[in-house]
Structure 1
Amino acid sequence: MTPFAIALALFAQDPAPAAEAPPPAAAVAEDRLPTGAPRDDYQFVGWCYGALRGYLDLHDEVMPEVTRIESQFRKPGTSLADDLKVYADMQKQGRAQLKTFQAALTAAEKASVRPINTIGAGAVRQGRQVWNVGPEVTKARKAQEWMSWTLPARCETVAASLEQKAKLMGATFRVNEAPPPAPTSAEAPASPAPESPPAEATPAPTR
């Protein structure tokens, strides 16, 4: 048998590699960037902080309506106190997550060669805006949105990665931000005046 025939025979005996299974739909949904959220890791964590802060701050406002809804639509065998405790537990968990996000943002700000805290503050405001609703939204609807809201799973994974990269990279850490504007003509430094050529030596008079 020729070497070429041997190679063909060996190739025919090897089973075809199995195709990789696609990731579960739930995992893809969890990793998807929320609508309107920044893509940059530092700004995204700021967005997560703002969205979660807005959720926590709404607790006292929406809980009377949440209690009414939970009381009105009871499932058999469930306890209202147990269901309301879930929201208290979520508040406790949310406050812990805020500390995680704050630690990641602080690490990134310390590692950046340029001040970026104003960029982070803008991302936080952007995250809080997810809770801005118009007067047409009823209290019941707002409470229902609050009851069903969950923090994107991507927030915690990106925050952990951001803090780790910031601590490892140190001064080489960069945030995707617009470059500083070029100085205008009024701000541009004046060009140095050309140096005057050295004066020629005057020849001594002859006698």
Structure 2
Amino acid sequence: MVLRDQDSKVNLLQIKKRNEIMMQKKNIYVFLLKGEVEKAHGNICWMLRNEKVCTVCKKLIDLCNQSTFISFLSYRSSNNNNELKKCIRNILYCSNKLHISNGENLRLNFIKQFGKNFIEDIEADFQLLDMNICTLVNKYIFNYNEIRQVENTYLYEINVPIKDQKERCLWIITKGAYTLHLHYVFKTSIMMGRECFPTGTLYPEPV
């Protein structure tokens, strides 16, 4: 799979029609607020008119969520062990980067099926990663300022004083083997009519 403009990051604020983009940004804001990162990914893709990326994103999310896929991988293990390792490694990578809701359960199922040492060895082998998948996923990793800009723009467009609605974001930084996983806690009370503390990856990173 060859992607155009692989090194260029998507523009979260790229617009086509003003009314439509306002609705998309509203949807993205609400999904991020609720911690529904998968849905936010889809809306970002639609907003950018990138149907190809959106399709790949959906397929990878489906792949990570298919519980029956475990038995299928087990069947293949005797035929091509290296292919199996690559498949598992990339599924776990996407599940982690996309903050799939059942990502941890998926990993535990892999461990139950293949053994803890086998899975941990796979997770430590970065050569198993598909660079095309990594590029696609990381293309949609948004930093704090980009997400904050979308949130603030949306609040501004609906005439809500930003300083009255948001408290400072709290960063939780966890150092992984080769990457820093940035998480954030966003607090709001008036917008949702209640206090809400969603926690998730700071990046909507789709694939």
For the superposition of Structure 1 and Structure 2, which TM-score range results when normalised by the shorter chain? under 0.3
Larger RCO: 1 or 2 (CA < 8 Å, sep 6+):
1
Higher strand share: 2
Normalised by the length of structure 1, the TM-score is: 0.27
Q: Which has the greater radius of gyration?
A: 1
Normalised by the length of structure 2, the TM-score is: 0.27
